[in-house]
Structure 1
Amino acid sequence: MIRHGKSDWSNRGLGDFDRTLNERGLRNAPEMARRLAERNEVPQAVVSSPAVRAKTTAEIFCREWGYPATDILFKEEIYEASPSTLLKVINGLDDRYDSVALFGHNPGLTEIVNQLCNSDLYNLPTCGVVLISFPFASWQLLSRQTGDQLLFDYPKNEEGEAD
């Protein structure tokens, strides 16, 4: 699970869906992608909300990973999704993939992480990453409290601050 980078609020005329990343978001995204690559945690597939800030974040991560941005699967239902909607998206993933990066938004991402892992994550910060492992070979079997949180990382982690 990867939350989109910090968005730009300077253009008040843009709707929420069309908000872009600000300078910090553009700086944090490649850094977080590199951190995952250094851990050898590059997914086999990438699924993203089509909202501009999520799409841009996913494209930046893909560029860092050497993953073709044209292969990103955009799913409209991820935008403003509830945890139950996110679970439906996850349950519908192709079983040929052992690892998938899902780029989306709060509060849905924080809530689905807490449900899947029985975690007490207060807030998944912008450009934050949570790696979850499941003991199943099929995405259809994922449900509440079936995952183990392997990693929680975010841009300010080294500074000891949260967003």
Structure 2
Amino acid sequence: MGKRLAKREVRPDLLVSSPALRALTTAQLIADEIGYPRKRIVVDERLYASSPDDLLAVACALDNKLNCAMLFGHNPEFTEFAHRLSSEIIDMPTCAVAEFRFDAKAWADVAGIDPVKVKLDAPRR
């Protein structure tokens, strides 16, 4: 998935990961592929054993100077969170990447609006 993101020239301003080894390792591997420094990955306890509400709170609290952020965590919470943002997403397989674009001035606004773009990419099984 990291190679796909690099090919699409995805350049997030911030990577935020659950402290769990699997999520953090995935974040590090993606960071390596897209040229994001591993030392800048933020570990956020709220992404471990979370709820969709917790994930929304993390997203809504992001610094408004950021244009693009990636969150790394666990199912079933991430599938539920993605489905809450867009009913187009029903399942997020392991290592899937869901992209949401919002026409919003602040991250806090994403809680109450629909995304203008939704894309799901997942490894082939």
| TM beyond 0.5 | yes
Q: Which runs of 4+ in 1 moved over 6 A?
A: none
Compared CA separation, residues 76 and 49, structure 1 to 2 (3 A): same
Q: Percent identity?
A: 38
**Residue of structure 2 equivalent to 1:12:** none
2:38 equivalent to 1:40: no
Distance 2:27 2:53 in 1: 22
Count residues in correspondence.
125
**Residue of structure 2 equivalent to 1:117:** 86
Query: Retained in 2: the 8 A contact 1:117–1:144?
Result: no
Shift of 1:120: 4.3
2:50 equivalent to 1:75: no
Letter in 2 for 1:132: F
Q: Greater Rg, structure 1 or structure 2? A: 1
Instruction: Give the TM-score normalised by structure 1.
Output: 0.72
CA RMSD, 1 decimal: 1.4
Distance 1:115 1:130 in 2: 12
2:100 equivalent to 1:132: yes
Shift of 1:150: 3.0
Q: SS of the residue aligned with 2:111?
A: coil
Instruction: Give the TM-score normalised by structure 2.
Output: 0.93
Query: Retained in 2: the 8 A contact 1:117–1:145?
Result: no
2:14 equivalent to 1:52: no
**Residue of structure 1 equivalent to 2:75:** 106
Shift of 1:149: 4.3
Q: SS of the residue aligned with 2:5?
A: helix
Letter in 1 for 2:12: P
Matches within 5 A, 1:88-103: 88-103=57-72
Shift of 1:36: 1.2
Query: Retained in 1: the 8 A contact 2:86–2:118?
Result: no
